[in-house]
Amino acid sequence: MSETMREIEELTDAAYEFGFSTDLDTDVAPPGLDEDIVRLISAKKDEPEWLLDWRLQAFAAWKTMDEPDWAKLDIAPIDYEAISYWAAPKKKPVLESMDEVDPEIREMFDKLGIPLHEQKMLSNVAVDAIVDSVSVTTTFKETLAEAGVIFCSFSEAVQDHPDLVREHLGSVVPVRDNFFAALNSAVFSDGSFCYIPKGVRCPMELSTYFRINSQNTGQFERTLIVAEDDSHVSYLEGCTAPQRDENQLHAAVVELVAKDRAEIKYSTVQNWYPGDENGLGGIYNFVTKRGRAHTDAKISWTQVETGSAITWKYPSVILQGDRSVGEFYSVALSSKRQQADTGTKMIHIGADTTSSIISKGISAGHGQNTYRGLVKVMRSADNARNYTQCDSLLLGKDCGAHTVPYIEVKNPGAQIEHEASTSTVGEDQLYYCRQRGMTEEDAMSMIVNGFCREVFNELPMEFAVEAQRLLSVSLEGSVG
């Protein structure tokens, strides 16, 4: 093995930084899933009848469905009866200020570097923090309320804004959309809700941090963002989980509704526990994310995926209104034994709709990284345009990169471009950097970050810094 190869192996062999677990007193339902559990969840949350009916409908649909098997993922069978579908920290928090947050939870968030405390007010980030299944606290509610923005946990939204929730829940991702979306619809525990009124530009970045803490629990959050005409919002979610030997299931649904001329920018930094180098443990991440863009609206997905043992995720845009715009920027890193099958779907329905896809896949160790993307142009979508660029970077010889683009065009006026490249970090690049005094590790990190530049440029500033750091840490050997 050459020196560089060995270096790459060391670099990609970093230990998981967020692998601590916090000793919280937790209220957990017995494992297994049946109608009673669905009713229990709904009752625990004191939900209205219509929502229980909606859940039961989803549960009935789920029972008739099979797990999707078309992705290039090798997954050990999931025992849905062994999972607990409800876990909540016992002190159900009804909080007026940060000081009331359980100190242990606060300490956990401090470890994660999450801006919950006062000094972070300067960073202008409003945070909804979700531990296991329950939203613990939402900061900056007042500042947002002045602008008319609603940003709260999903449960609160169900109580306080039932009409808004009822109107939009399932409008983008219907209950029978797919196996995991149906499961989520039946058992979702909490999540975030965000509503931007007409003409309002949300005064700050909104942010959700997800954390799976309890053992043997699944996490099923539901995020719903509604941006009314001429509004604008930028939203970020971050995810971590403790290090555990067994796999944990995460099946989330995110729905975005961008009304006329509205803009939603949704950024994700996903760092769930990836499992160890032998493939033991790690999060199974099955996520359905989709947005509907009305006339002249724009939806932009940016994701940096460095975690999870399994990633199954295709943030999509339905370009329904004329001149609507969909964007997808993605960095997906698979190292150790991680497998990622991720990409996007751009469904062009309106005329003069535009979509662009920039996907950067990095494979290292024994990682397998697949880009799977659909560009679909319906008959109605005159002058639709798509540009797709898929770049893969291979670090080492035991990993794999795969690109599976699907293009379906039913309108002859469409313009579709697809570019793809596969490369590796060259010995000559490393040598060049080292001759300029950089260590091999720093050089590797710099080159890989450069490869991801186009995507990082799309992230809000402070999260771009975090993403870079995360990528470096994920590639670092000296830490482990």
Partner 1 sequence: MLHVKNLTAAIGDKQILKGLDLDVGDGEVHAIMGPNGSGKSTFAHALAGRDGYEIAGEATLDGADLLDMEPEERAAAGVFMGFQYPVEIPGVNNMYFLRTALNSVRKARGETEVGARNFLQIAHEAMELVDMNEDFLNRAVNAGFSGGEKKRNEILQMAVMQPRLAILDETDSGLDIDALRVIAGGVNALRGPDRSMIVITHYQRLLDYIKPDFVHVLVGGRIVESGDYTLALHLEDHGYADFVNTDLNDAPERPLTGAPS
Q: How many residues bind partner 1 (CB under 8 A)?
A: 26
Question: Looking at 140-148, 200-208, 396-404, 449-457, which segment touches partner 1 (CB under 8 A)?
Answer: 449-457
Minimum CB–partner distance for residue 428 and partner 1 (Å): 5
Choose the binding region for partner 1 from 218-226, 251-259, 309-317, 422-430 (rule: CB under 8 A). Answer: 422-430
DSSP annotation of 122: G
Q: Which stretch binds partner 1 (CB under 8 A): 90-98, 198-206, 253-261, 447-455?
A: 447-455
Distance CA 127, CA 408 (A): 39
CB 6, min distance to partner 1, A:
12
Closer of 90 and 434 to partner 1 (Cβ): 434
> Distance between CA atoms of 360 and 18, rounded to whole angstroms?
24
CA pair distance 226, 144, nearest whole angstrom: 15
Nearest distance from C-beta of residue 322 to partner 1, angstroms: 35
367: number of Cβ within 10 Å: 26
Q: Whole-number minimum distance, CB 472 to partner 1, in Å?
A: 13
Q: How far apart are CA 451 and CA 448, in angstroms?
A: 5
CB of 430 to partner 1, least distance (A): 9
Question: Min. distance of Cβ 454 from partner 1 in angstroms?
Answer: 7
Among 241-249, 321-329, 341-349, 439-447, which window interacts with partner 1 (CB under 8 A)?
439-447
Q: Which is nearer to partner 1, 415 or 423 (CB)?
A: 423
431 binds partner 1 (CB under 8 A): yes
Which residues lie across from 301 on neighbouring strands? 266, 328
50 touches partner 1 (CB under 8 A): no
Q: Which of 69, 94, 436, 461 binds partner 1 (CB under 8 A)?
A: 436
Q: Which residue in the set 10, 229, 429, 469 belongs to the binding site for partner 1 (CB under 8 A)?
A: 429
Q: Which is nearer to partner 1, 316 or 445 (CB)?
A: 445
Tell me how far, at minimum, the Cβ of 154 lies from partner 1, in Å. 38
Name which position in 35, 398, 419, 427 contacts partner 1 (CB under 8 A).
427
Residue 245 in contact with partner 1, rule: CB under 8 A? no
The minimum distance between CB 479 and partner 1, in angstroms, equals 18
Instruction: Choose the stretch contacting partner 1; rule: CB under 8 A; options: 14-22, 172-180, 435-443, 465-473.
Output: 435-443
Coil, helix or strand for 5?
Answer: helix
Q: Is 478 near partner 1 (CB under 8 A)?
A: no
**Closer residue to partner 1, CB minimum distance, 2 or 64:** 2
- Rounded to the nearest 5°, which phi and psi values hold at 283? -85, 140
Say how far residue 104 (Cα) sits from the centre of its chain: 25
Position 67 contacts partner 1 (CB under 8 A): no
Identify the residue whose tokens are 């770049």: 391
**Residue 3, interface with partner 1 (CB under 8 A)?**
yes
Smallest distance, partner 1 to C-beta of residue 391, A: 9
Helix (H, G, I), strand (E, B) or coil at 140: coil
* Binding window for partner 1 (CB under 8 A); candidates: 191-199, 200-208, 341-349, 452-460: 452-460
Chain centroid offset of residue 112 CA:
17
Residue 426 binds partner 1, judged by CB under 8 A: yes
Q: Which two tokens stand for residue 258?
A: 């961008």
Q: Could you say whether residue 447 binds partner 1 (CB under 8 A)?
A: yes
Q: Can residue 452 be called a binding residue for partner 1 (CB under 8 A)?
A: yes
Helix (H) or strand (E) holding 479: none
Write the CB contacts of 348 (distance below 8 Å, at least 6 apart in sequence). Answer: 319, 355, 375, 376, 377, 378, 381, 384, 386, 411, 414
- CA dist 458 and 467 (Å) reads 11
Give residues 4-43 in contact with partner 1 (rule: CB under 8 A).
Answer: 4
CB-CB neighbours of 63 under 10 Å? 13
Task: Give the pair of three-digit tokens for residue 252.
Answer: 């989330």
From 104, 260, 442, 462, residue interacting with partner 1 (rule: CB under 8 A): 442
Residues 6+ apart with CB under 8 A from 375: 345, 346, 348, 355, 357, 386, 388, 405, 406, 407, 408, 409, 416
Q: Is 99 in the site for partner 1 (CB under 8 A)?
A: no
Amino acid at the residue 106: R
> CB of 193 within 8 A of CB of 224?
yes
**Paired residues of 332 in beta bridges:** 305, 361
Taking the C-alpha atoms of residue 402 and residue 25, their distance in angstroms, rounded to an integer, is 43
**Which residues bind to partner 1, rule: CB under 8 A?**
2-4, 426-429, 431-440, 442, 446-447, 449-454
